[in-house]
A and B are shown apart, each in its own frame.
Chain A
């Protein structure tokens, strides 16, 4: 395969993962390859990343895809011992010395020695899970720690950092093993397929409903700048809205320096109207992935906007604004606090939108004004109970705008106990399954 072909299929795989790359960038990348040469793989990686990517988040897709199309090597390593204890021994040394090149080589050996499965050409492959399961690098922690301490002596304060550092090195080794297993599998099954299937999507495309705990931390890092972005965008819009009539007094005063000729008209500043935000969040079990995320968003918005009121519900509704202290960025703790301190359930534990929305309309009507924008976050699955459309209507009448963000795929709306389409008749409902959709939506929807 020529370098040009390799490059275009790399671009194709990146595009399939939603990285937008134009022809111009591909040409730049080819020029970069020419300028850098193929000798140094890490330089090539950086060069291609610089020409093809446009943002930091894309890097986590780029790196594994790059590893597939510009692999470190071909086939099995030249020398393997196949002896588990020996490998563990050498790994322990590499961890202690933080020798990254050695760790990379050991990952190659480990996959070759312990990752293979199956015995017919059609079904066999390499598994990082199996490799790590046999090798158990995490059990080396205590040993390596004692080794290092033995060599260096108890070096006082920084000694307490050692254990965490080793944990991070072991984690890095796991990543290396996963990459190597992917490479070996790709050799067998075709790299195009592996590049599409086995590379995790960028964080902004992870489905909220299925985001696991480990993904949640990443989501948080994506959501926090999003909230800040929203705040600056709002500020920008407010500023633009201020352009209007001329302020005669200040224009004349400004003209003194030009001998009374008004060269620069000064515009009257309008007082900024402060948007008010009300969030109604479904925190029931069926949307747990989403509600964890909701909590992130709520927390982030709460840090950025002064006037946000937040309500949570399962089948009863309670205000939780007081539970959101500024800056306490801990969604898990927050979720627990909400469940402990707010009254969210009545005599059963499943969600009931009808009752919750009714309670909001009757008890917290004072939260709504012609300046309020209401966001309802939930899947509109009301467990066959009355959706209480009149309550929604009442809310729409009192608030400025009402939007519903639904974490379910649009194809699922209206199926089973989903009242999505019924609600969508009176409320603007949007599919909001990942950060990408959310940021597109919020930019469009949020009030000036």
Chain B
């Protein structure tokens, strides 16, 4: 898919995703070694975006499995379309049981869910397993089979093997420790907050109307907030939101009033806002 690390950075940048060297290197390796990529990091640094950008670059179909508490085999892999099976049975009253049985467990009645969909297709596919840590431990077991062999076994139909391996991205906010076995099958990438320079470029790219000097100030303030001991430090997504807010407010530079009034865009807890306000001397005016 990619010829070199620089190729990864350049092509991701074309889609509007500015990758750090770590991200570009790891994506390149995941493609080269054919291994799933486990991406961890705080919310809003672009983990999901990365999968979307890779899909766009590779002109691949993006199949997404959103994990949540209680997601199970029938939501992740496949299930039988019971209602349709019942209809089929009641429609063909005069056939024998054996005929009906072989018929209702055929492709036509199979509802394939993300994992099976990603494996079955012939076109290039990016499989995004989003917020893996939200799913129960049992689902990890399911993923192990899929990710190590890229195959799924449906008892009635036999084993379905991928003819073309999907590029797999798993994301996690580390709210639950993923099992060692799952981690071992993946390349590991931690996306942290970007370097000042990179973040400034990201902001400029995402908020085109913002002028260079203001973008610089925005990133510096966010950097200062991240160095504070807050409950929830602002992420890249919040930086972009804030830049948009400032643009909408028509602010052409930062001062106490503007920052104080818009701090809520960056910080999501009242005590964080108070703390940051005190540290930045916003109340001194």
Residues on A close to B: CB < 8 A? 20, 22, 24-25, 28, 31-32, 35-36, 40, 42-43, 46-47, 49-51, 53-56, 59, 98, 155-158, 160-161, 164-165, 168, 217, 225, 228-229, 232-233, 235-236, 239, 257-259, 261, 263, 327-329, 439
Contact = CB atoms under 8 A, between A and B. Distances in A.
B253 A46 contact: no
Contacts of B33: 28, 31-32, 35, 51
Contacts of B183: 54-55
B29 A35 contact: yes
Q: From B35, B41, B136, B177, name the one whose CB has the most chain A CB atoms within 10 angstroms.
A: B177
B164 interface: no
Contact of B177 (A35, A165, A229): A229
A355 to B, nearest CB: 37
B221 interface: yes
Interface string B156-199: 00000000000000000011110010011001111000001000
Contacts of B86: 258-259, 261
A74 B271 CA distance: 50
B184 A54 contact: yes
Contacts of A53: 188
Main secondary structure on chain A at its contact with chain B?
A: helix
Contacts of A327: 231, 269, 271
For the complex of A and B, the 7 pairs showing the least CB-CB separation, nearest first, are A54-B183, A46-B25, A157-B254, A46-B22, A50-B26, A50-B187, A161-B224
Contacts of A59: 190
20 contacts: A20-B180, A28-B187, A40-B5, A43-B25, A50-B29, A50-B30, A50-B189, A53-B188, A56-B40, A156-B255, A157-B255, A158-B220, A161-B223, A165-B223, A217-B229, A236-B137, A239-B69, A258-B82, A258-B83, A259-B90
A302 to B, nearest CB: 14
A155 B176 CA distance: 44
Contacts of B280: 160
B75 to A, nearest CB: 13
A32 B174 contact: no
A267 to B, nearest CB: 12
Nearest to A25: B184
Contacts of A161: 220-221, 223-224
Nearest to A232: B176
Given A35-B33, A59-B190, A161-B220, A225 B174 contact: yes
Contacts of A232: 175-176
B268 interface: no
Contacts of A51: 29, 33, 187
Contacts of B32: 31, 35
B259 interface: yes
Interface string B4-44: 01000000000000000110011011101101000011000
B26 A46 contact: yes
A50 B28 CA distance: 11
Nearest to A220: B229
A156 B253 CA distance: 9
Contacts of A155: 217
Contact of A156 (B28, B229, B254): B254
A22 to B, nearest CB: 6
A46 B21 contact: yes
A229 to B, nearest CB: 6
Contacts of B216: 158
B211 interface: no
Main secondary structure on chain B at its contact with chain A?
A: helix
A329 B228 CA distance: 12
Contacts of B255: 156-157
B254 A56 contact: no
Contact of B21 (A43, A164, A233): A43
Contacts of A36: 5, 25, 28-29
Interface in B83-122: 83, 86, 90
B254 A50 contact: no
Given A46-B22, A225-B175, A164 B40 contact: no
Contacts of A55: 40, 183, 188
Contacts of A56: 40-41, 174, 190
A29 B203 CA distance: 34
A36 B21 CA distance: 12
Given A22-B184, A232-B175, A50 B25 contact: yes
Nearest to A44: B25
A59 B83 CA distance: 51
B29 A47 contact: yes
Contacts of B196: 98
Contacts of B28: 35-36
A158 B25 contact: no
B227 interface: yes
B133 to A, nearest CB: 8
Contact of A263 (B82, B190, B231): B82
Contact of B224 (A165, A235, A236): A165
A132 B281 CA distance: 32
Nearest to B280: A160
B179 to A, nearest CB: 10
B49 interface: no
Nearest to A228: B175
Contacts of B224: 161, 164-165
B73 interface: no
A164 B281 contact: no
A257 B29 contact: no
Nearest to A217: B229
B198 to A, nearest CB: 13
Given A50-B189, A239-B69, 14 more contacts: A25-B184, A28-B35, A36-B25, A36-B28, A42-B21, A43-B21, A46-B21, A54-B180, A56-B40, A157-B256, A236-B69, A259-B86, A261-B86, A327-B271
Contacts of A217: 229
Contacts of B187: 28, 50-51
Contacts of B25: 36, 43, 46-47, 50
